[in-house]
Amino acid sequence: MSFATFRTLASSAQAAFARLALPAAALLALAMPVGAAEPLPTAGEVDALIAKAQGWLLEQQQASGSFIPGKEFVVGLTGLAVAALVQTPGGVAADDPHIVKALALLKTYRQKDGGFYDRAEGLGDYGTSLTMLALLATHSEDAATITAAQNYLFGIQNHDPKDTAVGGLGYGDDKPGDENVETTVIGVQALRASGVPASDPHLLAALKFLERCQNLSAVNDQPWAKNGSSDGGAAYSPKESHAGGSWASDADKKAGAEQAAKGVLNSYGSMTYALISAYLSLDLKPEDPRVAAACGWVKGHYRFDGNPGMSKALERQGLIYYHGIMSRTFGLLGTKGFQTSDGKDVDWRADLFAVIKASAIPAKVGGDAAGGMIWMNSEKRWGEGVPHIATTYMLQALKRIRAAL
């Protein structure tokens, strides 16, 4: 599958669920802005939703061990699902037959270069990073396999000192040049989880790449950062040619190019949360000026109904990923309640749980028509119209909320 195909994920799974309409209430809930203070959920409330999401996802396992129908994004989604299912609290045991079968499938995708991916599909960064996280989460890794996977990720890192994106990780396809915050962050997460120290030269290079994606002139040497607002948020990529990100429509790409011509790149919510999570993974502290500046941007753009920074027409695309990376970031920060830039006291655990609960869609598990819960985005880009993908993101978010209670 080409990178362009991945951007839309017009897969067999997408087609299979294209006719599954979201209830109107769920659509409204997913678009719910922050309003009156939400009550903090009880542990029991969160556990109940975790159990329903987890029960549905387990029942979706294919005979092959995959957690998604069809042949696209099997490696990435199965690795992601395994890590989400065994994640605590409420995790499935590593020796559960579903997990054992999924791990066996993932191991069949190990390539001679050490990566885990379908050769016809590519996406080696996702496949390798998510498989590493699954192996590590289940303690089923062996040193040689992990070392080979680490070396694969090091190998696909941009090493061109003349390239603005040097140090970044792209999709792992044969043609570099698509290095961005999100693909770099997942690689950094896997490398750090597998024991690579933050002082490793490869990770120091990744850190410099991430700095060049932050709208902060104190650390970013790119002209657009110095010309812009230095608001502390993160752009999709340090390259002005990538203004608007991979989600951009033709109109937005034109607008992005015009914006870049003025020497300014937008900060985005999903990229800013991802940036913070990567900074923390690389041992930066919350009080570090880079982290503090990004957190300042978050406090000024705290919302759930859209991905801030994106155009109005596109801000709901990738919204479920946005919620998921938000939960990871706040969990790493250890943040619970805080005050937004406009003086409002908020608690991300309460606000995010309210959105997740309200947008849950009852789904059949076993003989119970409402025994499970799934999530889908009405904007289907990046596979978020496929419940297997969206539900996995939300399962992770629910477990992070539960861990933070």
Give the model confidence (pLDDT) of 80-125 as tens digits: 999 999 999 999 999 999 999 999 999 999 999 999 999 999 899 9
Q: Which residue type does 386 have?
A: V
| Average pLDDT of the residues in 371-387 | 92
Q: Residue 31 above 60 pLDDT?
A: no
Are 72 and 13 in contact by the 8 Å Cβ rule? The answer is yes
- Segment holding 347, helix H or strand E: strand 345-347
Residue 102 sits in a domain whose CATH number is 1.50.10.20
Are 373 and 49 in contact by the 8 Å Cβ rule? The answer is yes
| Average pLDDT of the residues in 6-25 | 45
User: Is the Cα dihedral 65, 10, 268, 46 positive or negative?
Assistant: negative
Between residues 162 and 7, the one the model is more confident about: 162
| Range(s) of the domain holding residue 222 | 3-404
Q: Coil, strand, or helix at residue 157?
A: strand
Are 231 and 269 in contact by the 8 Å Cβ rule? The answer is no
Average pLDDT value for the chain: 88
Q: What's the pLDDT score for residue 311?
A: 80
Are 268 and 236 in contact by the 8 Å Cβ rule? The answer is yes
pLDDT tens per residue across span 252-265: 556 555 555 555 68
Q: Residue 278 above 50 pLDDT?
A: yes
Q: What's the pLDDT score for residue 224?
A: 84
Q: What's the pLDDT score for residue 242?
A: 57
| Average pLDDT of the residues in 3-23 | 45
As a whole number of angstroms, the distance between CA 226 and CA 213 comes to 12
Q: Coil, strand, or helix at residue 370?
A: strand
CB crowding 340-353: b at 16 or more within 10 Å, else e: eeeeeebbbbbbbb
As a whole number of angstroms, the distance between CA 48 and CA 327 comes to 18
- pLDDT band (50, 70, 90) for residue 396: very high
- pLDDT band (50, 70, 90) for residue 322: very high
% of the chain surpassing 70 pLDDT: 84
Are 236 and 178 in contact by the 8 Å Cβ rule? The answer is no
Determine whether 76 is exposed, middle or buried from the number of CB atoms within 10 Å of its CB (0-12, 13-18, 19+): buried
Structural domain tally of the chain? Answer: 1
Are 260 and 297 in contact by the 8 Å Cβ rule? The answer is no
Q: What's the pLDDT score for residue 260?
A: 53
Q: Which residue type does 69 have?
A: P
Structure tokens at 321: 């990923």
Torsion of CA 221, 192, 182, 94, to 10 degrees: -170
- pLDDT band (50, 70, 90) for residue 199: very high
Determine whether 366 is exposed, middle or buried from the number of CB atoms within 10 Å of its CB (0-12, 13-18, 19+): exposed
pLDDT tens per residue across span 131-150: 999 999 999 989 999 999 99
Phi first, then psi: give them for residue 386, nearest 5 degrees.
Answer: -95, 115
Structure tokens at 25: 């209430």
As a whole number of angstroms, the distance between CA 280 and CA 293 comes to 13
Q: What's the pLDDT score for residue 300?
A: 97
Are 312 and 379 in contact by the 8 Å Cβ rule? The answer is no
As a whole number of angstroms, the distance between CA 242 and CA 222 comes to 14
Between residues 244 and 323, the one the model is more confident about: 323
